[in-house]
Amino acid sequence: MAGLPPPGPSTRVPVNQVDRFTGKPITASSPTIPYKGYVVAFCCPHSTGYRGGWDHLSEAEKDTYVRGFLK
């Protein structure tokens, strides 16, 4: 499956409830990164994803990460 579907109107809400890099839950104060109109959240500023792990993923891996949270 290539690419992502267009984001919906709730694009300011993180797509994920769990940081898959750490397995920890997302909170209201979790850091976020915008990606193709979606918002990806990380458990905390110390998350391995937030501290560079996300940047090391390929575009296809990022798409798969986000797609895994879409309903």
Full-model pTM: 0.85
The two three-digit tokens of residue 18, written as one number: 């769990």
Render pLDDT for 17-69 as a digit per residue (tens, 0 to 9): 999 999 999 999 999 999 999 999 999 999 999 999 999 999 999 999 999 99
User: In sequence order, what DSSP letters do the residues of 41-58 get, joined into one string?
Assistant: E-SSTT-TIIIIIHHHS-
Strands (E) across the chain are located at 32-35, 38-41
If 0-12 CB within 10 Å is exposed, 13-18 middle and 19+ buried, where does residue 11 land?
Answer: middle
pLDDT band at 1 (very low <50, low <70, confident <90, very high): low
